[in-house]
Amino acid sequence: MNDSTSGAEVADDVAARIAALGELVAYHNRRYHELDDPEIADGDYDLLVRELRQLESEHPELATVESPSQAVGGAPSALFAPVVHSVPMMSLDNAMTQEELAAWGQRLARGLPDETVSYVCELKIDGVAMSIRYEGGRYVRAATRGDGRVGEDVTANVATIDAVPDRLVGPVIPDVVEVRGEVYLPVASFDRMNERAAAEGARLFVNPRNAAAGSLRQKDPSITAQRDLSFWTYQLGDVVGGPPLPSHSAALAFLGGLGFPVNPELALFDSIDAVAGHCRHWEAHRHDLDYEIDGVVVKLDDVEQRARLGSTSRAPRWAIAFKFPPEERTTTLRDIQVSIGRTGRATPFAVLEPVFVGGSTVGLATLHNEDQVRLKDVRPGDTVIVRKAGDVIPEVVGPVLSMRPEGSAPWTFPTTCSCPLASTLVRLEGEADTRCIEPACPYQRDQRVGYFASRGAMDIEGLGERTVVQLTSSGLVADPADLYALTQEQVLGLEGFAAISADKLLAAIDGSRQRPLPRLLTALGIKHLGPAAAQALAASFGTLDAVKDAPADVLAATPGVGPVIARSIAMWFEQEPNRAFVEKLRAASVDFGVALPEPEPTSDVLAGRSVVVTGTLAGYTREEAMAEIVARGGTSPGGVSARTYALVAGDGPGASKVKKAESVGVPILDEPAFDTLLETGQLPSP
């Protein structure tokens, strides 16, 4: 093969790749902007566009003005009347890395040599771009971006958004003012929408952006009004009769004065390094907000400098969007399997074609429970959207239905545990979880041992999942208490252990005997009992034995515990295998805590009586009020029942407790009556 033939083949390959990418980008652009039904995640779409632009940049002879890489948005829908934008709504170029952001800053510096530059940074809201027009201070029209020149008339729908003013305010109201901004759905509202959808057995919304876009394209504005949409303003469009505004920051201040919502996280910087630091901050804190952001928009602040820099055919040179690493990507769902936890909970999870998302490579993702798999209708072989937000466990958001293989069948939850015992899986009526109820299940055993040794519990360094499985499968460990009987010889028999590593593991196990009581309580793995409640119990009871022997209503009186956790603790200690396990820990010299001195009873006027406290009292904290009751021989559980002697209600009482007291005839006392009760043990006269 000669050089000319080789070069021609390479050119043909590049041309074919550009053509294929052009078709893909145009297709997905339409799915996103026109149909509000994207098939791939934003991160995957961005990669396609970047590859297309890169190839067109390297081979300008193959680039055309019709290329979708030059498109702004998508064609307006025929469902809504067209609106021609008086000032085009342009797109923004993207920077995916700190190096690309720095390179943009260098281009600005070359375009404005020896000039002072000020940058204004705004959060990049993940919503729907909108242009809203006011004439004579009155709201007259709202239109989507569309293709940047022509959008869709969604005036009636946007009018239902509370954050969009009907009439402008302020000392100077332009004859015409057109604002650009982002319609978005708050995260809390999105969660409520999906909760309702789940309760109704309907398909869940994929993300807040898609839910917002779908809400705006409702033909019935009353449906849009139910969606709790909101709006942030970020730019002026057409203005007639307004004051001179020399900078973008001044324009935003002017818009705020007219009554438009302007995002408070606005920041000004005089160097691109400071801008980069700001972007890093919000990349780390993007989930501190009640709305989704996917980057930071960086703009030149000075309007005159902007005019000199100008724009390309699709984007201004004076602005750029710094995009955060994508938290959603598409990949193939290889299989759905079920894991068994320490309490027997059977949790379905997705086995994925590994994909880089949210800053790490993900190969497994949670599917939560049987109902979630059914609602999302994900099946092995599907192309699925995977989401990983910060430190949150990766999850499968949903399938790309248009890419589903022919002949696929819905996945069904297994009826038996995958452990060697093949015990039956049970889902109790009214519960979302399916459980393996066989106590001897080896998967539950392994999870219990691993949880006991985990960092938040007994913190036994070096005792990872692989070592736990070796210990249990070899018969050396049947429950966590057996860890304390291990010898060096036994550990040396495990794969991967030499004398030094074996001694290190045994030292870590030995050191865990002296962990404080809250750690031990957490390590027991009692359902509902987490670190916070364990800390409260340790402070109130002092020893594991005191917790073990306490009745449920006494446990429930502990601040931060309550009746649900108390019942779970009491039931756990009632089971003989659990009590035997506690004795094995005692025999292994595990520290059970230090007994607290017996409080001197003030009196016994409330002996045998249960008094519940709710709301805020002027003379006592809730804990002090409960302590006063206990000091007089009474108990103070967290809930009201027919056996409750009285309910003490301060300011802001729990409505459910008051309602329950009224329904079963329990007297409700104010603070003066409570003082009398503590003194005399008597209820006030009717």
Inter-CA distances, 665 with 207, 605, 657, Å: 47, 21, 12
| Banded model confidence at residue 343, pLDDT cuts 50, 70, 90 | confident
Look up residue 50 and give its two tokens.
């970047």
Give pLDDT tens digits for 205-252. 778 888 888 888 888 888 888 888 999 999 999 999 989 999 999 999
The fold of the 3-70 domain, in CATH, is Helix Hairpins (1.10.287)
CATH 3.40.50.12170 holds for 517-587: no
pLDDT higher than 80, residue 295? yes
Give pLDDT tens digits for 421-448. 888 898 877 777 888 888 788 999 999 9
Query: What is the DSSP code (8-state) at residue 271?
Result: S
The fold of the 442-514 domain, in CATH, is DNA polymerase; domain 1 (1.10.150)
Whole-number pLDDT of residue 469? 93
CATH of 328-426, one of 2.40.50.140, 3.60.20.10, 3.40.50.1980, 3.30.470.20: 2.40.50.140
Torsion of CA 587, 589, 594, 595, to 10 degrees: 10
Mean pLDDT, rounded, for 273-278:
95
Mean pLDDT, rounded, for 323-342:
89
The per-residue DSSP string of 149-194 comes to: SEEEB-HHHHTT-TTS-SB--SS---SEEEEEEEEE--HHHHHHHH
Contacts of 124 (CB under 8 A, 6+ apart): 293, 294, 295, 296, 297, 321, 322, 323
pLDDT higher than 60, residue 10? no
Please list the residues that pair with 336 across neighbouring strands: 350
pLDDT higher than 80, residue 122? yes
Give 257 or 3, the one with higher predicted confidence.
257
Q: Where are the domains of the chain?
A: 3-70, 82-323, 328-426, 442-514, 517-587, 611-680
Mean pLDDT, rounded, for 551-564:
84
Q: Which range, of 287-296, 422-431, 576-585, averages the lowest pLDDT? A: 422-431
Query: What is the separation of C-alpha 9 from the centre of its chain, rounded to a whole number of angstroms?
Result: 48
Give pLDDT tens digits for 54-80. 887 787 777 776 676 665 555 555 567
Whole-number pLDDT of residue 612? 87
Whole-number pLDDT of residue 65? 62
Please list the residues that pair with 131 across neighbouring strands: 143, 180
pLDDT higher than 80, residue 543? yes
CATH superfamily of 82-323: DNA ligase/mRNA capping enzyme (3.30.470.30)
Helix (H, G, I), strand (E, B) or coil at 551: coil
User: How far apart (Å, rounded) are the C-alpha atoms in residues 369 and 374?
Assistant: 9
Q: What percent of the chain has pLDDT over 90?
A: 47
Whole-number pLDDT of residue 423? 85
The CATH class for the domain spanning 611-680 reads alpha beta
Topology match between the domains 442-514 and 517-587: yes
Q: At 98, which helix (H) or strand (E)?
A: helix 98-111
Determine phi and psi for 292, rounding to 5 degrees.
-80, 135
Helix (H, G, I), strand (E, B) or coil at 390: coil
User: How far apart (Å, rounded) are the C-alpha atoms in residues 258 and 134?
Assistant: 11
Give 68 or 625, the one with higher predicted confidence.
625
| Banded model confidence at residue 1, pLDDT cuts 50, 70, 90 | very low
User: How far apart (Å, rounded) are the C-alpha atoms in residues 189 and 208?
Assistant: 9
Mean pLDDT, rounded, for 636-650:
84
- CA gyration radius, the chain: 32
3-class DSSP string for 636-667: CCCCCCCCCCEEEECECCCHHHHHHHHHHCCC
| Number of Cβ atoms within 10 Å of the Cβ of 494 | 17
Contacts of 409 (CB under 8 A, 6+ apart): 379
User: How far apart (Å, rounded) are the C-alpha atoms in residues 620 and 436?
Assistant: 46
User: How far apart (Å, rounded) are the C-alpha atoms in residues 259 and 231?
Assistant: 12
User: How far apart (Å, rounded) are the C-alpha atoms in residues 496 and 173?
Assistant: 76
pLDDT higher than 70, residue 593? yes
Going by their DSSP bridges, the two strands 383-387 and 119-125 should be labelled as unpaired
User: How far apart (Å, rounded) are the C-alpha atoms in residues 196 and 259?
Assistant: 33
Helix (H, G, I), strand (E, B) or coil at 365: strand
| Banded model confidence at residue 657, pLDDT cuts 50, 70, 90 | confident
Q: Which range, of 2-6, 478-482, 487-491, averages the lowest pLDDT? A: 2-6
Give pLDDT tens digits for 13-50. 778 888 888 788 778 777 766 666 677 777 777 778 77
Give pLDDT tens digits for 103-120. 999 999 999 998 999 999
Contacts of 480 (CB under 8 A, 6+ apart): 448, 449, 452, 453, 458, 523, 581, 585
Give catalytic residue positions. Answer: 124
